[in-house]
Amino acid sequence: MKALVIGAGIGGVSAAAALKQQGIECEIFEAVKAIKPVGAAISVWSNGVKCMNHLGMGSIMDRLGGPMHYVAYKDGINNSLMTQFSLSPLVEAVGERPCPVSRADLQEQMIDWWGKDSIQFGKRLESLEQNANGVTAYFTDGTSAHGDFVIAADGTHSKARKHVLGHDVERRYAGYVNWNGLVDVSDDIAPPNQWTMFVGEGKRVSVMPIANNRFYFFFDVPLPLGLDEDRTTVKQDLTGYFEGWASPVQTLIQAINPDTTNRIEIHDIEPFDQLVKGRIALLGDSAHSTTPDIGQGGCSALEDAVVLGQCFAKIKDIEAALKEYEAARRFRVKDLVLKARKRCDVTHGKDMSETLAWYDELKVESGEGIIDGLKKTILGGPLA
């Protein structure tokens, strides 16, 4: 049995790893010659780390995971502490730690783990054709490949999605812009073992420790779509948006390197129920594009991969196994996308009275409420 996997992101490589565990041959096709991830880092929460372990890639997490032991929210303007708590109760409850990791390092190490030379780079999927015997993938360079089935992990702008749904879908602008990158850890910004968030005015500034004494930082600002801003204006843009904010935020703005700071207009896609058509299955962002507000997009791609493997372990018929994958995943991924959307709206001042109420809640939060929420999300995964 042979699978064609489209995309060599977190979803594609993890899907190939899961299928390989079931003895299924996989060929991975990636559009670009060198992958340039859109974000500087991601937090792989405990459910994602469990999936990486299950797929045989746990050592990557060990190498790259940052020392995130505490969480703190601070008032972004006056720097007062709203809440601060240890993540140990979460780790004890769910049985695994979260790992914030450099995204470029994660991507590179996953590709190396699979074998860079056995991935076909520069192969951009153009279209798919399926019949009772298999699927043919056609690429923009005029070549094609044939397999028994296709796992389309070709991201949020998926070309394969319309072959499954029968129509295109629009991405939905979530209402805010995210700037992200890496800086050296500094006590003038935040403690090096803590995920620190500064909030105020519906905006958010976050620093999260990753390996090798670096902070993954991001700034979120609610803004209209399509502003004329990019890397060249990043420092002046952030200085303007965070005028009057506390000194750690100003120190962070001065520390960032504009050349490596990403500016992203955050989108998601209205969840849909169909993830599979015949021998073509969507996986990762092609199947469920979420805002990053609960840090579960990449984690759910990893969960998809684990479940895909579990389905082929139980069911040998291809179409039946893929249908089982769809049934096992569609409610979970819809739930995560909608949960992230809700969190996004509260965090970013969609209704400012709700955001102000959340700030008040944070001031009396012991950590238990936030840990409970994280626990529910993590334990909803396939390896709970």
Site residues for ligand FAD per CB under 6 A: 6-12, 29-32, 35, 38-39, 42-43, 48, 124-125, 153-155, 159, 178, 180, 264, 284-285, 292, 295-299, 301
Whether the Cβ atoms of residue 208 and residue 41 lie closer than 8 Å to each other: yes
* Rounded least distance, CB 278 to ligand FAD, Å: 19
Whether the Cβ atoms of residue 48 and residue 217 lie closer than 8 Å to each other: no
Residue 61's Cα: distance from chain center in Å?
A: 15
Select 31 or 318, whichever has its Cβ closest to ligand FAD. Answer: 31
* Rounded least distance, CB 27 to ligand FAD, Å: 12
Q: Which two tokens stand for residue 234?
A: 């990043």
Select 154 or 345, whichever has its Cβ closest to ligand FAD. Answer: 154
Q: Which two tokens stand for residue 302?
A: 């990893």
* Rounded least distance, CB 340 to ligand FAD, Å: 10
* Rounded least distance, CB 276 to ligand FAD, Å: 16
Select 64 or 125, whichever has its Cβ closest to ligand FAD. Answer: 125
Residue 132 phi/psi, 5° resolution?
Answer: -65, -20
* Rounded least distance, CB 162 to ligand FAD, Å: 12
Select 220 or 324, whichever has its Cβ closest to ligand FAD. Answer: 220
Whether the Cβ atoms of residue 280 and residue 128 lie closer than 8 Å to each other: yes
How big, in percent rounded to 5, are the helix, strand and coil portions of the chain?
40, 25, 30
In 3D, which of 304, 372, 373, 365 has the Cα closest to residue 343?
373
Select 124 or 323, whichever has its Cβ closest to ligand FAD. Answer: 124
Rounded to whole angstroms, what are the CA distances from 250 to 78, 183, 211, 246?
12, 13, 23, 7
Rounded to whole angstroms, what are the CA distances from 212 to 66, 91, 101?
8, 22, 10
Rounded to whole angstroms, what are the CA distances from 7 to 15, 122, 258?
10, 10, 28
Select 246 or 290, whichever has its Cβ closest to ligand FAD. Answer: 290
* Rounded least distance, CB 237 to ligand FAD, Å: 17
Calpha distance 284→269 (Å, rounded): 12
* Rounded least distance, CB 312 to ligand FAD, Å: 19
Select 146 or 314, whichever has its Cβ closest to ligand FAD. Answer: 146
Residue 103 phi/psi, 5° resolution?
Answer: -70, -40
